[in-house]
Every structure is written in C-alpha cells, then in structure tokens.
Homo-oligomer: A and B are copies of this chain.
C-alpha cells in the first residue's frame, strides 16, 4: 500500500535491517503483544516473526483516518468548555483569513480579541489531546504557507498536523488496554502501512532472519 499523496511524502524506503512491510497476512488484534521497547515500539509476536510497531506513527495514522473519514460537518464536536489559544499577531491575521478552511478540517475558532481565539469545536478524535497545543501547532505549521487559494491543501495539512499532534508520543508509556485498542483501530483503517508523513507504522523481523542471525 502506498502512502497518501501529500506535501510531506518523503523518498522511498531505504532498505533497513528488518524486512519491509508487505501484504500483511495477519490482523493486528490477533498478534501476541510482548511488551514495549523504549516506550516507543510495541513488540508483538506474529505468524511470521517479531513485529515492531511505532506507537506514535500508528496512532497518528489511526487519528488521521478518523479525522479524514468524517465529513467537515461531523468532524467538529462542540466543546462543553471552550478554550482560548493565543497566537502571534501575524498568525492571527492568517487565522482570521482561514476560519472557513480550518472549520472544514473540524477546527472551529472564534476571534477572541487581539491575537486570541476561542476553540468552540474540535474533532471528537482529539478529545483526549491537548487542544490548545494542537491548534497552536496547526497554526504555526500552516500560516507560513502561501496556499491561501487552496482550501483543500489547508484542510489536508491541518488534518496531518492534528493527527501528529494528537497522537501518543514516542516515550509515553502505553497501558496494555491502550495498546489493545490501538491494534483494533489499526485493523479498521484502510492504510495501515505508513503514517501520513510516509513513515512505516510497523516492521517485521522474520523468524527466518532471526534464526539465520543465530545460525540456527
């Protein structure tokens, strides 16, 4: 499966020390989770070998798909307790000119005086994220771009930033239930090979390679 076309696509994968993800041939939720390496990679036993899952990249893809699959209307969920985010004066001008495009991505902002904005609605998929930080980073990432004339590009980039910022970080300890939930979600999305930036979500270290390295 190819990563989606977008501004962040990088060059094709370089051959690494582990096999590339091919057609899966397994369900993530059927894997036996062994543990987490360095609070970054979920280790699981699969039918063909050891599977390493990049927890951040995987969650990022899950969030991205969730954000994208909802229409602009359904994406935004009104906040019970609106929050205020402050940006720079230059960014504020950009936000004011792009309120519609941001709303298309599910981020509803209202001018709140000066360079402040009230977040009145946000995608439900970001319910557990630090929304102020997500909005601040989305604005910082998007505002320097000159694509004022391309609402679709703004939406796409906003979705990517939201997914990246909203996803669990590398280095954050995941509870077993959170890992199990993530694996189920990975099975439910269409693209489970790469994150929206084009990085692989998981790697297989085949039993054959392992045996060979042990000269078994």
Contact = CB atoms under 8 A, between A and B. Distances in A.
Q: How large is the interface on A (under 10, 10 to 19, 20 to 34, 35 or more residues)?
A: 20 to 34
Contact of A213 (B203, B207, B209, B215): B203
Interface string A172-216: 000000000000000000000000000110010101011011111
Q: Is the interface of A mostly helix, strand, loop or mixed?
A: mixed
Contact of A52 (B16, B18, B210): B210
Contacts of A16: 209, 212-213
Given A34-B43, A45-B38, A203 B214 contact: yes
A10 B215 CA distance: 10
Given A43-B43, A210-B52, A215 B13 contact: yes
Contacts of A10: 215
Contacts of A212: 14, 16-17
Nearest to A198: B215
A200 B216 CA distance: 9
Stoichiometry (number of copies): 2
A13 to B, nearest CB: 7
Contact of A37 (B13, B38, B41, B50): B50
A202 B54 CA distance: 24
B54 A216 contact: yes
A35 interface: yes
A88 B203 CA distance: 51
Interface of A: 10, 13-14, 16-18, 34-38, 41, 43, 45, 50, 52, 54, 57, 170, 199-200, 203, 205, 207, 209-210, 212-216
